[in-house]
Amino acid sequence: MRANGDKRIRKLKNLISQRFGLIGASVELHYAALTALAVKIAAAGLGFGSQILLAQVLGAEQYGLYSYFWVWIMVGGLVTSFGLSEAATRFIAEYRDTGKYDLAWGFIWNALSLTLITSIGLAVIGISWAFIFQQTLPEGYVTLIVLALLCLPLMALQELMEGYALSFSWTGLGHIPPYVLRQALIMVLVLAFVLAGNTVTAATALLCVLLALLLSAGGQLVIFLHRTAKILPKAPLKTERRHWMKTALPMLLASGFQLCLTFSDIIILGMFLDSSTVALYFAATRITSQIAAVQFSVLSAVAQKMSSFKATDNLVALRELVHNSVRWIFWPTLAITVGILVAGWPLLWLFGAEFTSAYSLLPILALGLLVRASTGGAEDALKMVGYEYAEFKAKAVSTGLNLVLNFSLIPWLGMHGAAIATTVSLIVYSIMIELMVRRYLGTSSFIGSLKRV
């Protein structure tokens, strides 16, 4: 079976080579990108299915509550991984390529220990707080908070494992457990509750998320350790914690700012408006989030290669890869954007008739994502070659602007204010990234200027 699978993979790589006229590393990059895109397409289908199922089963109010706590689970998982997931893509790939196996193993075990200890500790503190102050919380919130916090260590583990897998170019292992398996398990578990005749609430949905995380993240960890033990030579653990954290923390802050750009609108909407309105907005963002599918897929494939080019001082290849990533990302993204705008109304209708009122949000949200795609893989290039502070500055400025605009516009314009705030912030971020690529890499990452480079 394994031999047949390897043979099919070789045939696919040969087909890519013949179709696009590629050789060597380019074939590997296209294959990895196509794998990531295939996973993303499958995840998009399952994601839509699970969100539509939840919206139909829960109703707008409970779906809004579920969405609100789901966002906090994602934010908490990223924060408690300390940016080590992104740092892994850089460091493990670099140590493997340069034969520093002691540092590779040291990073793997140190990052894993830190992530689990911190996330479990925060979960215990948060659960204790919820029980101590339960009289001051809205009815039913203690259960939701406890379930969300139990998800926290597993989400942090899965965030870390994604970076670990991508550092070895194991695109399937990196993306299938969190984006396909987890979604599928959530759907199956929710359907099981429904078919058993139980009333499904936001708490029920979060319980399904907890079980899905336990199975998908646990399986991902076991498979990664098994594979790594086979191909990475054993060596005594060597650590460079100060260097790792000095690099990882700006990545954490940048990723935190990215999450803020992505989800602060939902969190702030929840402060000012009812959960039904949050549900409408969340459904719109789930649809437009598919616009980023190609960017996600290409960056998953090229990030560790950028780090390798930097480690070997191959700056010409690095710049060429930056330019190619822009082309690979922008044009397919433009096509997806058009498709989303055409199909947006019926997709929203699948969530429920009341969700179609959120259609006017789609063009606003889509514009920001399309502008971001116009700079391709520039932000990852900055991180992978040692300019993580530059990306951090861009995200800090755009996140600050995002928060100001959200707090200013949401009370005035409601959902549309949140969409405008997000899009303006993404445009500012993209402009800053382009300026920094010109400054630090001596080239351009903007789709409109590539022919002149």
Q: Is the pLDDT of residue 304 over 90?
A: no
pLDDT in the model for residue 124: 96
pLDDT in the model for residue 5: 45
Q: Is the pLDDT of residue 288 over 80?
A: yes
Q: Is the pLDDT of residue 159 over 60?
A: yes
Is the Cβ–Cβ distance between 437 and 382 less than 8 Å?
A: yes
Q: Residue 156 is encoded by which pair of tokens?
A: 């942090």
Overall average pLDDT of the 385-392 stretch: 75
pLDDT in the model for residue 32: 58
Identity of the residue numbered 133: F
- In the DSSP assignment, the letter for residue 199 is P
Give the torsion sign (CA, 196, 54, 183, 119).
negative
| DSSP SS3 for 377 | coil
Q: Is the pLDDT of residue 69 over 80?
A: yes
User: Rounded to whole angstroms, how far apart are CA atoms 445 and 379?
Assistant: 9
pLDDT in the model for residue 162: 92
Taking CA atoms, 341 is separated from 133, 288, 360, 451, in Å, by 45, 9, 10, 29
pLDDT in the model for residue 284: 93
- Lowest mean pLDDT of 129-143, 160-174, 246-260, 357-371, name the range: 246-260
201 or 291: whose pLDDT is higher?
A: 201
pLDDT in the model for residue 34: 64
17 or 430: whose pLDDT is higher?
A: 430
Taking CA atoms, 33 is separated from 69, 106, 255, in Å, by 31, 29, 21
Overall average pLDDT of the 203-209 stretch: 96
Taking CA atoms, 159 is separated from 175, 221, 386, in Å, by 10, 11, 21
* % residues pLDDT > 90 (the chain): 42
Map tokens 């707080």 to a residue: 129
The 10 Å CB-count burial string (b at 16+, else e) for 244-262 is: bbebbbbbbbbbbbbbbbb
Q: Residue 291 is encoded by which pair of tokens?
A: 């616009």
- Written as one string, the DSSP assignment of 406-449 is HHHHHHHHTHHHHHHHHHHHHHHHHHHHHHHHHHHTSS---GGG
Alpha carbons within 13 A on the beta-carbon side of 270: 19
pLDDT digits (tens, 9 = 90+) for 222-235: 999 999 999 999 98
DSSP H helices in 312-354: 315-351
pLDDT in the model for residue 196: 92
User: Rounded to whole angstroms, how far apart are CA atoms 358 and 369?
Assistant: 17
Per-residue confidence band for 36, with pLDDT thresholds at 50, 70 and 90: low
User: Rounded to whole angstroms, how far apart are CA atoms 400 and 192?
Assistant: 43
Per-residue confidence band for 312, with pLDDT thresholds at 50, 70 and 90: low
Burial of 213 (C-beta count, 10 Å sphere; 0-12/13-18/19+): buried
User: Rounded to whole angstroms, how far apart are CA atoms 55 and 42?
Assistant: 20
CB atoms under 10 Å from CB of 34, counted, come to: 17
86 or 127: whose pLDDT is higher?
A: 127
pLDDT in the model for residue 311: 64
263 or 445: whose pLDDT is higher?
A: 263
* % residues pLDDT > 70 (the chain): 86
What is the overall mean pLDDT for the chain?
Answer: 84
pLDDT in the model for residue 316: 75
Burial of 378 (C-beta count, 10 Å sphere; 0-12/13-18/19+): buried
23: alpha, beta or left? (left if phi > 0; alpha if psi -120 to 50)? beta
User: Rounded to whole angstroms, how far apart are CA atoms 256 and 66?
Assistant: 21
pLDDT in the model for residue 216: 97
Is the Cβ–Cβ distance between 416 and 362 less than 8 Å?
A: no
Overall average pLDDT of the 15-23 stretch: 43
Query: Between the CA atoms of 23, 28, 32 and 34, what dihedral angle is there, to the nearest 10 degrees?
Result: 20
Overall average pLDDT of the 276-286 stretch: 90
| DSSP SS3 for 235 | coil
pLDDT in the model for residue 393: 85
- Written as one string, the DSSP assignment of 109-165 is HHHHHHHHHHHHHHHHHHHHHHHHTGGGSPTTHHHHHHHHHHHHHHHHHHHHHHHHH
Strands (E) located in 153-291: none
Per-residue confidence band for 12, with pLDDT thresholds at 50, 70 and 90: very low
pTM as predicted: 0.72
User: Rounded to whole angstroms, how far apart are CA atoms 202 and 205?
Assistant: 5
Per-residue confidence band for 313, with pLDDT thresholds at 50, 70 and 90: low
Per-residue confidence band for 79, with pLDDT thresholds at 50, 70 and 90: confident
Overall average pLDDT of the 127-154 stretch: 93
Per-residue confidence band for 365, with pLDDT thresholds at 50, 70 and 90: very high
Is the Cβ–Cβ distance between 234 and 95 less than 8 Å?
A: no
Q: Residue 377 contacts by C-beta under 8 Å, 6 or more apart in sequence?
A: 295, 298, 299, 302, 303, 306, 321, 322, 325, 326, 329, 445
Q: Is the pLDDT of residue 208 over 50?
A: yes
Identity of the residue numbered 374: S
Is the Cβ–Cβ distance between 436 and 382 less than 8 Å?
A: yes
